[in-house]
Amino acid sequence: LPADSATMGGGPGRSSRVPVSVADLRGSGPPAPGGTVRRYVLTAKKATVRLPSGREIDAWTYNGQVPGPAITATQGDLIEVRLCNADIDGGVTLHWHGYDVPCGEDGAPGVTQLTVRPGADFLYRFRADQVGTYWYHTHHASHVGVRKGLYGTLVVKPRDGQRADEYTAADQVDLTLPVHTFGGTVVIADRDGQTEHPAPPATPVRLRLINTDSEPHRIVLAGTRFQLAAVDGRDLNQPGEVSDVGLHLPAGGRYDLVFLMPDTSVALAVDDDRDGGLRLRPHGDAPGETRIEDTSGLPELDLLRYGAPVAVPFDTRNADRHFTMVLDRGVAMVDGRPAYAHTINGRGHPSIPDQIVANGDLVRFTVVNRSPETHPWHLHGHSLLILSRDGKPSIGSPVWMDTFDVRPGEKWEVAFRATNPGIWMNHCHNLPHAHQGMMLRLHYD
Ligand code: C2O
Ligand code: CU
């Protein structure tokens, strides 16, 4: 196995380290001009949640509901969330998945804060500067807590007039659709089985799909051409219209699909389930009319060949640091005992050396998967520019992701600018894998 990390070195010309003050690591400060403060209280508690099918789940919830309250803001608002813990014994936190919050707001227990125990609370504050589709979840024993329901959605919309495309029109149908599995049943937002939603013909529609599971989901949209407008909250450049494709949505990932509603119904299927999923109906469309064909044979949309290229904000050939992570199986500490589990460069968390970067570094990751399972790779606090997959370069729109699936045998190259000082978890988002060793820390010098 290669060394844990190969540092290409900064070179003599690199600027000296910028000191970081602790105050910079918290999200203080007012909203942007014109913005407001969005206040929420989220109380973690156990609850029995009844799904539309009548099925009941013994859930861990924020505010008694699954998913937790939808957090929404307009760009520039200040989001202020008080997390309380009623009765989740092990403790909880809030991690803002994909959102580049200041490090102290990141919700990584034992790293950026203490776990919030029953009866305790924690106040999170951060400016909603990034537009797009995100989500939040507990980061304490998340392989248990997220699976049981401790998650919700975070959507930030552009300020009026800043992005006047047709899909931000006031009359649009804009649905946030976390996809989560409870005991083998797919739940889309808060509904199992088939969900209906009205959508008048010619209305702009935006579907914000969020995979809150630990496994990928296959998404098919039938009955219309559409654009994949955004990946992990970040807009793609000139996304073309597609149809008859399968979308592979990594665990933790988000896709925004946009289209103008046709005058016939549109169906969204998850994992090629033709009976469940979402049906959008133009007015007057009789229930039962929608037919969804067998979708299992549709080709997968290749993200790295979609949209049009455009310049990116750094020269990806000249990285200051280069880290290689080989994902495999080996001996890791699991629940305090050595076990054969998931490893990075032959080691398991917490005995994997930190990746050290300096503020301002251009960092490159090579992620190699030598194991027989897919590993959805996730770095906190930064978005990653995808350079190549298995040696095939990204030739379409630049794709920025915070969670990308490295399938068995694959090798991915990604890059990012380290401009968010702190200590950041870098891990597999198949959450049991992270729990079983596949996690390390990226540490600013
Ligand atoms: Cu969504 Cu460290 O996780
Ligand atoms: Cu994994």
Give the pLDDT confidence of 334-354 residue by residue, as tens digits: 888 999 999 999 999 999 999
Instruction: Establish if 297 belongs to a structural domain.
Output: yes
- Which of 412, 421, 423, 418 lies closest to 362 in space, CA to CA? 418
pLDDT-derived band at 27 (thresholds 50, 70, 90) equals confident
Shared domain for 170 and 153, answered yes or no, is no
Give the pLDDT confidence of 84-107 residue by residue, as tens digits: 999 999 999 999 999 999 999 999
Ligand 1 atom closest to 98 (CA): 1
* C-beta of residue 249 within 8 angstroms of C-beta of residue 412: no
List, as ranges, residues with CB under 5 A of the ion ligand 2.
Answer: 375, 428, 430, 433
Shared domain for 119 and 196, answered yes or no, is no
Helix (H) or strand (E) holding 146: helix 142-148
CA distance 389 to 409: 11
Instruction: Establish if 86 belongs to a structural domain.
Output: yes
**Which residues does a 6 A CB cutoff place in the pocket of ligand 1?**
95, 97, 137, 139, 252, 378, 380, 425, 427, 429
Instruction: Give the domain-ending residue among 106, 133, 157.
Output: 157
How many domains does the chain fold into?
A: 3
Instruction: Establish if 132 belongs to a structural domain.
Output: yes
Ligand 1 atom closest to 427 (CA): 2
Distance from the CA of 434 to the center of ligand 2, in angstroms? Answer: 7
Cα angle 269, 242, 224 (rounded to 5 degrees) comes to 55
Instruction: Give the domain-ending residue among 157, 175, 194.
Output: 157
Instruction: Establish if 11 belongs to a structural domain.
Output: no
> What integer best gives the mean pLDDT of the chain?
92
Instruction: Establish if 25 belongs to a structural domain.
Output: no
Please tell me the predicted confidence (pLDDT) of residue 252. Answer: 98
Segments forming the whole domain that contains residue 198: 166-301
In CATH, what number is assigned to the domain containing residue 113? 2.60.40.420
Give the pLDDT confidence of 226-265 residue by residue, as tens digits: 999 999 999 999 999 999 999 999 999 999 999 999 999 9
Determine the average pLDDT of the residues in 379-406: 98
Distance from the CA of 384 to the center of ligand 1, in angstroms? Answer: 14
Please tell me the predicted confidence (pLDDT) of residue 168. Answer: 53
Spatial CB neighbours of 276, under 8 Å, sequence gap ≥ 6? 186, 188, 192, 193, 194, 269, 270
Shared domain for 44 and 131, answered yes or no, is yes
Please tell me the predicted confidence (pLDDT) of residue 438. Answer: 98
Shared domain for 185 and 293, answered yes or no, is yes
Shared domain for 175 and 296, answered yes or no, is yes
